[in-house]
Structure 1
Amino acid sequence: MSAIATNVPVDAPANRAGSVDAPRMSTDFLNRYSEALMLIEMAALDDTVLADLQAWHSISYREHFRSSQLRCAASALAAYDRVDLVRARAFEDICLSMTRLVRTVCALLTEKPQPPELPMIIEVAGEALRRQIGRATQFINANGMIDIAIFEDAALQEEIDALLAR
């Protein structure tokens, strides 16, 4: 017999935070940003990839799993619904920051003529995006139980701000 994760009573043993059967968030969502990172790094070497990068778009964690066919989708949504609102907002802010970074690099790649410092911008943006994905991964792997804001890296934020100012 199976049960849909969202229909199990909150006080059921399977829903305790440490339980193996408790709803878990899923890093599958972050594949979207990993794809953007790969496209950014490839676009620097191959102009034909730019169209794929321009077609890339972000969606929220909830939107991703609502439309997902993955078996873990219901559990991922149930787990996210349990995340403290302040922590969930901090996670969403990181996702927004990653999206802005991808969009900024995409805009720079479409500029004609391309800025001479573009290879350096791509390198810095790639590293910044990689670190942000890492932070989001930590949050998801902790099932939203960590304060992602404490992982704020001032140097990383300065790099992102500098890129966005260009």
Structure 2
Amino acid sequence: MECLHPVLGAGELAADRLEEANINPQTGLATDYLNHFNEVMMLLEMLPDMPDCAEDVLEWEPLDYEGHFENSTFKDKALAIQAYHAAPNHLREHLEAQVADINALVGDIQNQLRQTANPAEVAVAIADKATHEIKPLIAIAGAVIHGHVEPDATQHEGEGAQAEIDALFA
């Protein structure tokens, strides 16, 4: 009987093959995905010194894991997508929850930029929000990719990203 679903550690998804491609062999996830969010973080943090970066922030669009790799120059993008599908459900779901929160925060910032005539007026507040709210979520996403999350870990309503980071590394 042929296996219909790829399995981490077997065949194309053998641990050495995944490691060679910079994909975590235990989780099936690649940190390259975080580059998409690190790019917008860099722009947001530069806003106070370079308000003209607002245009680039407004052009940034959310991309899910597969979309990121489909549109990337990542050498082993097909393998990354295949490994993602073989990743444990709880890790994929937790990663997707962090990504949804990041996307929502960036969307809020983009709306704020669209509503202001002068991005310099809101740049410091935006950079602060990015540093204190988005960056911790990117760190949590990185922890998920590296498997540093309990199977039942969830973000609870009312708890901030920093509390979750503290719990991950406690």
Q: How many residues align?
A: 148
Aligned to 1:126: 131
State whether structure 2 residue 75 is matched by structure 1 residue 68.
no
Aligned to 1:80: 84
Shift of 1:11: 7.4
What TM-score do you get using the length of structure 2 for normalisation?
0.69
Aligned Cα RMSD in Å? 3.4
CA distance in 2, matches of 1:134, 1:85: 20
Partners of 2:8 and 2:87 within 8 A in 1: no
Task: Quickly say closer, same or farther: Cα 1:120–1:91, change in 2 above 3 A.
Answer: same
Aligned to 1:39: 43
Structure 2: 5+ residue stretches without partners: 1-5, 24-28, 164-170
CA distance in 2, matches of 1:40, 1:11: 38
CA distance in 2, matches of 1:30, 1:105: 19
Shift of 1:37: 0.8
Aligned to 1:141: 146
Structure 2 counterpart of 1:156, one-letter code: A
Structure 2 counterpart of 1:66, one-letter code: E
Shift of 1:118: 6.0
What TM-score do you get using the length of structure 1 for normalisation?
0.70
Structure 1: 5+ residue stretches without partners: 1-7, 159-166
State whether structure 2 residue 24 is matched by structure 1 residue 20.
no
Identity of aligned residues (%): 21
CA distance in 1, matches of 2:102, 2:96: 10
Task: Quickly say closer, same or farther: Cα 1:98–1:43, change in 2 above 3 A.
Answer: same
Structure 2 residue aligned with 1:106, among 105, 110, 115? Answer: 110
CA distance in 2, matches of 1:57, 1:48: 18
Structure 2 counterpart of 1:150, one-letter code: A
Task: Quickly say closer, same or farther: Cα 1:45–1:81, change in 2 above 3 A.
Answer: same
Shift of 1:126: 2.0
CA distance in 2, matches of 1:11, 1:28: 20
Shift of 1:130: 1.0
Aligned to 2:26: none
Structure 1 counterpart of 2:49, one-letter code: L
